[in-house]
Amino acid sequence: MTIVKINIDNKEFEIECRDGEEKLLLNAEKRIVSVIDNFPELRKLSESKKFLMVSLILAEEGIRKNKESIDFDNYLESINIELEKLENLIDAKK
């Protein structure tokens, strides 16, 4: 296990992670800091409320991206269905 030091809202945290996950944690740190920077009103909240709001913002982003991914998968599936229909038409004309 590896210990990664991250700094969020001027507080340092030591997080234990598996080998190879260091970059993931550092990217998460950057994303959290970015949310706090993009919503300056969060700085006025208590620490627990601030991290709750950051969690809700990131969860909403994840839900939205998941929905977009599902919508895109459905779109690709509809294209596949149409391609299969075209292939069947071509095969029927042979």
Tokens 């929905």: give the residue: 67
C-alpha span between 54 and 39 (Å, rounded): 9
- Give the model confidence (pLDDT) of 16-47 as tens digits: 999 999 999 999 999 999 999 999 999 999 99
Report the distance separating Cα 29 and Cα 40, nearest Å. 17
- Helices assigned H by DSSP within 6-46: 22-38
Q: What is the pLDDT of residue 54?
A: 96
Span 50-89, pLDDT tens digits: 999 999 999 999 999 999 999 999 999 999 999 999 999 8
Contact 17, 41 (CB under 8 A): no
**Cβ neighbours of 50 (radius 10 Å):** 19
